[in-house]
Chains A and B, each alone.
Chain A
């Protein structure tokens, strides 16, 4: 209705009526396929023309390994110092080597650690958070997950400060040099955040071996990007007035940065820290494949042995740990100084720290005499593994036929035909089609980037696997959107629904990706259906969140204007709220696609046949070339989807005057 008025600035697709757009697309599809018929080798990429990126990368990695042994060793030794300290104090006891033999300092008593967890919760979020935090740690102890959980926690405690400092420095560098930021840092971050987690593991494995150090470094690489982003964003968002003030006060550059900009950006930075913690936890679990140990390793072992109960228990412990870390770090991010303490003596200002050290010292000393303080006594622990197993057995016995029928029908009549369709697409046709989409949405540069990235997937000989990934990811994202958007709409129209949905999706978002697989595998065993269900559960959150948020932030005047014009509720929704909220909903969809992609790759563990599987196989052979090339192909799928959708959203926004 208002399109005619609004599109004057914008004469490409939007000026055309719907049927002409459809005809245009059909025409382009037809042309792309005709070209694919005519051009030789356009359907299946000729094997003899495959560009051996994988071999090149492998050669480079081997050269790096051989040439820089001193550097990798040095780095490993350096990182190992804090790591061994943390593991020693939290999990295993710290050994001090003397001239003859060694003495082992006891690890922190579990009683003390639980008390500290509660205390930290109390300091940041009051009684409620104290209870959540303390009881969660207690539960981990009582469910016999203590040793592994502390190992995982130790890795995180060492990793997070390293990531935060590195991220902060890189972010500052990017903020101070916008050009470096645009040309180097942001593209690197995009790549790091879209390359699947598995692909990080391979070079680390190659350079540092199967050890906690490799796990730590892989985790660091994965968890640092959000800190860099938060830093650049936070510093840019400091109001211009405050920046001018720093200059007018006669600050030197250093003073301006460290005494004005960084402290003013602290809220954004703390959100970055929260994200670092959550990603670190996620990655530490996955790094159990290259020697991280801890809870992730327990899950991995249990899954391999199909010990449903144990996997579930360790998985739940991860979830509990994730929730505590998330809530505590969020509370810390929001915490602001309550009163001025600079006048008080040192002891009072550091009362919390002293109290924590005292509790740890007293309980740990007590553990020397009271064994119950050192190791969680068996009498008070219990296991839920048999219960989980019984539950699964019961479901299997009673509903096996139903579940199996659903699974097989879905597989035979929906998934397999779709897979065949996607895998049969000609690579040149797809390249042309995507390039055309890029050109219409964002211009010639976008077209070129999209075409090059798509061509990479074909020229490396991974076309079929790429299409398989696209199919899985596409179906998962579609289902997630089909579930998530209506829920988001519903939540936006009722505060009560929103109140129920919000904590649910908050929790869902906190859970590390690995943990989604466990319950699904129990019921649906391995394969595409399982992968899809786990992926949908993981990727549904942004669809819900963005839809709800998008509709809720439609300006109130618009609703009033619509009501005043005599819209029914239905008209109000379809003709006012939805169009205005569309860009936001599209951004949610974008996130859903990216999350689907990252999850579908992890599902290689449960036997999908796609790029993820290529990476997984490369990991088991420590073949860095193949692994990285497949990883890049996955990253490129994500980047293509992201760029196309972002360009589309920009156009939508410009069209509606929302930009």
Chain B
């Protein structure tokens, strides 16, 4: 799972976005703490409340919530597209909220990329010009602009469409342009705001795979917003679940499934295909001394990848760590229980 030793790239502490007259004054007076009731009495709306997250270098951090949960507002506070009311945002160890306008422009020009739900392509520019646009506003010379734009266009598989206008492309292709454009400046952090929500289900799946492929190559630090829990499970290293402006749980997909913090989270995880989320580790029990093993699986391997084999063999599999040391075993019965939905609690810590 997530390697905790990786340094934190972006974080926020006790971050608030409160709408309404006098909201800043209110938050200062209350020292950055207010109950939903107190906000309501002051006729304020807490779009994001006491959010604290750490996004580590190279991870895909997904913020998942239904509409109105404040997930987009949180993203916009992290990128300072809107000013947070209270709290701090640290990017690369510096306080982003203290950056001047000029500094912010510099940071955005070189270190941040963002993909938008409705693509946000400029209608009057071709694909090549759209992708080159962030470079162009930095004043990168034309030939280099073209070269770098072409490189990312090739990367997202749009070669041959450079001179098309956005309206001539399908939704999926338009979002590829959006992705290419956000990558053109080689950002260190990549914000994706519901990038696939406006696409058809089939195209969405294709684009999700495409994102995983790109991430395999690029290893960016990603903050990804979605309202689709399956999408979150599929892509995330870690997920933050938001409801009514608050983050109610942060964890790897497996942790959410195994230990949902609230009924609300449990409701989301109920229909998740556990074999896809859970690893051998989580089904493992202590290996009986001298027991027979029909095979060997890595502790991190998802159940899905060995379910057919273990059930066919009808004998336990040994579970080993990365270096091949024996950790325990998984029984066929445990796998069958999981697949049948009978598995409720983690067998072994």
Contact B120 A263 (CB under 8 A): no
Task: Give the interface of A toward B (CB within 8 A).
Answer: 239, 241-242, 244-245, 247-252, 255, 259-260, 263-264, 266, 336-337, 339-340, 342
What are 15 pairs between A and B in contact, CB < 8 Å? A241-B116, A241-B119, A242-B120, A245-B120, A249-B108, A250-B107, A250-B108, A251-B105, A252-B137, A255-B137, A259-B133, A260-B122, A263-B123, A264-B122, A337-B124
Contact B137 A249 (CB under 8 A): yes
By secondary structure, the B interface counts as: mixed
Within B49-85, which residues are at the interface with A (CB < 8 Å)?
Answer: 76, 79, 81
Contacts of B123 in A (CB 8 A): 263-264, 266
Residue B106 lies at the interface, judged by CB distance under 8 Å to chain A: yes
Residue B109 lies at the interface, judged by CB distance under 8 Å to chain A: yes
Tell me the bound Cα distance from A339 to B127 in angstroms. Answer: 12
Contact B81 A248 (CB under 8 A): yes
Contacts of B138 in A (CB 8 A): 250
Task: Give the interface of B toward A (CB within 8 A).
Answer: 76, 79, 81, 105-110, 112-114, 116-120, 122-126, 128-129, 133-134, 137-138, 163, 165, 167, 182, 191
Contacts of A242 in B (CB 8 A): 120, 122
Query: With contacts A264-B124, A336-B165, A339-B163 known, is A249 near B119, CB below 8 A?
Result: no
Q: Which of B81, B137, B163 contacts A244 (CB 8 A)?
A: B81
Contact B109 A250 (CB under 8 A): yes
**Shortest Cβ distance from residue A264 to the other chain B in the assembled complex, whole angstroms:** 6
Q: Which of A248, A336, A337, A340 contacts B108 (CB 8 A)?
A: A248
- Among residues of B, the one whose C-beta sits closest to the C-beta of A339 is B163
Q: Which of B113, B120, B137 contacts A241 (CB 8 A)?
A: B120
Which of A239, A248, A250 counts the most chain B CB atoms within 10 A? A248
Contacts of A337 in B (CB 8 A): 124, 165
Tell me the bound Cα distance from A501 to B324 in angstroms. Answer: 83
Known: A239-B120, A244-B81, A266-B124. 6 other contacts (CB 8 A): A248-B191, A250-B106, A250-B134, A252-B137, A260-B122, A342-B129
Tell me the bound Cα distance from A262 to B126 in angstroms. Answer: 17
Contact B105 A250 (CB under 8 A): yes
Contacts of B125 in A (CB 8 A): 263
Tell me the bound Cα distance from A249 to B122 in angstroms. Answer: 12
Contact B119 A248 (CB under 8 A): no
Contact B134 A249 (CB under 8 A): yes
Contacts of A264 in B (CB 8 A): 122-124
Contacts of B108 in A (CB 8 A): 247-250
- Among residues of B, the one whose C-beta sits closest to the C-beta of A341 is B163
Q: Which of B79, B117, B129 contacts A248 (CB 8 A)?
A: B79
Tell me the bound Cα distance from A506 to B205 in angstroms. Answer: 48
Tell me the bound Cα distance from A449 to B118 in angstroms. Answer: 43
Contact B118 A239 (CB under 8 A): yes
Contacts of A239 in B (CB 8 A): 118, 120
Tell me the bound Cα distance from A6 to B122 in angstroms. Answer: 42
Contact A247 B165 (CB under 8 A): no
- Among residues of A, the one whose C-beta sits closest to the C-beta of B113 is A248
**Shortest Cβ distance from residue B176 to the other chain A in the assembled complex, whole angstroms:** 16
Contacts of A245 in B (CB 8 A): 114, 116, 120
- Among residues of B, the one whose C-beta sits closest to the C-beta of A267 is B123
Contacts of A247 in B (CB 8 A): 81, 108
Contact B122 A244 (CB under 8 A): no
- Among residues of A, the one whose C-beta sits closest to the C-beta of B111 is A250
Contacts of A251 in B (CB 8 A): 105, 137
